[in-house]
Amino acid sequence: MLPLMEASPFLKLISLSLLLAWYPPVMAVLPSLEEQAGALLAWKANHQSQPAQLQSWEKNIWPCSWHGISCSNHTQAGHQLEFPVITGISLWGSGLTGELDNLNFSALASLTSIKLAHNQIRGSFPSALASSLPNLRHLMLQENELSGEIPKQIGQLESLVGLNLSANRLSGPIPSELGSLKKLLVGPIPINLGNATKLTILYLDGNQLSGHLPRELATR
Ligand SMILES: *[C@@H]1O[C@H](CO)[C@@H](O)[C@H](O)[C@H]1NC(C)=O
Ligand SMILES: *[C@@H]1O[C@H](CO)[C@@H](O)[C@H](O)[C@H]1NC(C)=O
Ligand SMILES: *[C@@H]1O[C@H](CO)[C@@H](O)[C@H](O)[C@H]1NC(C)=O
Ligand SMILES: *[C@@H]1O[C@H](CO)[C@@H](O)[C@H](O)[C@H]1NC(C)=O
């Protein structure tokens, strides 16, 4: 590095800003754990009757120990510090009746897994879910009461390997944007490719969806 740059704190500040500007926006500005937990607490408050399974979701309890919540340590590029982020929500058959529309997904960009199967979650499949979670690998929402169309933003879930939307009340066309999900593979039964741990599934049955699977998926 140039001695000039080392000498000038102003230039250091500029190079730090450039470094941050270079980094993908989602990773550069992950909300704090407090903000992430706040989004979940607001969603809990939106439930008409409070599900017993969410009892541990309390402001004065460490969110990584809440029932159904998992965390990982995240290291910000260029920093030594690692800090916990919420990476998973797993509440199978927990009597949840809320709407996903009331969950602030932009506060939860670190999520890699949402497993909320066998509940009574209603309302639409929010486009914000699809557009805010570039790290999401598993989205399991089967056996709920989701209605309306699958948003075309689903093509933005670029890390998705497993998707199960079976047995909901979804309708409308199957979005062609599903075809841009390069990691998502399709099969009538789960496929284990090349014996990799990557078990990749797409399940859409039990809805009123129309149209064909995107060609890119059909040929995989
Ligand atoms: C994060 O790192 C701390 C300190 O190294 C460790 O105690 C903690 O268990 C880690 N948490 C997770 C979720 O891995
Ligand atoms: C959602 O979360 C983001 C990031 O923490 C925050 O900036 C925004 O204000 C929140 N939106 C609502 C409606 O609370
Ligand atoms: C997807 O959900 C349906 C309906 O519950 C179930 O029959 C199917 O086994 C699920 N598939 C996977 C791979 O989880
Ligand atoms: C996967 O495992 C099966 C059974 O263990 C084996 O027959 C097959 O050759 C393996 N395939 C690859 C690509 O390693």
- Ligand 1 center to 83 CA (angstroms): 8
**Residue-level pLDDT at 88:** 98
- Ligand 3 center to 204 CA (angstroms): 9
Paired strand residues for 123: 146
Note the pTM of the prediction, 2 decimals. Answer: 0.76
Structural domains for the chain: 30-219 (3.80.10.10)
Interval 34-45: pLDDT, tens:
999 999 999 999
Average pLDDT (91-114) is: 95
**Residue-level pLDDT at 27:** 52
Q: What are the structure tokens assigned to 214, written together?
A: 């995107």
Q: Is the pLDDT of residue 199 over 60?
A: no
Of 118, 119, 142, 169, the residue with max ligand 3 atoms within 8 A of its CB, to mutate for a pocket test, comes to 142
Find out whether the beta carbon of 71 lies less than 6 Å from any atom of ligand 1.
yes
| Contact status, residue 123 vs residue 97, Cβ threshold 8 Å | no
Show Cβ contacts of residue 118 under 8 Å, excluding neighbours closer than 6 positions.
Answer: 92, 93, 142, 143, 144
Find out whether the beta carbon of 214 lies less than 6 Å from any atom of ligand 2.
no
Query: How far apart are the C-alpha atoms of 72 and 24, rounded to whole Å?
Result: 19
Paired strand residues for 72: 85
Which ligand lies nearest the alpha carbon of 70?
A: 1
Q: Give the residue with greater pLDDT, 95 vs 171.
A: 95
Interval 118-152: pLDDT, tens:
999 999 999 999 999 999 999 999 999 999 988 99
Find out whether the beta carbon of 195 lies less than 6 Å from any atom of ligand 4.
yes
- Ligand 2 center to 82 CA (angstroms): 23
Nearest alpha carbon, ligand 4 atom 11: 194
Q: What is the dihedral of CA 215, 158, 167, 54, to 10 degrees?
A: 180
Angle at 158 between CA 73 and CA 74, to 5 degrees: 10
- Ligand 1 center to 113 CA (angstroms): 19
User: For all residues of the chain together, what is the average pLDDT?
Assistant: 78
Q: Give the residue with greater pLDDT, 80 vs 218.
A: 80
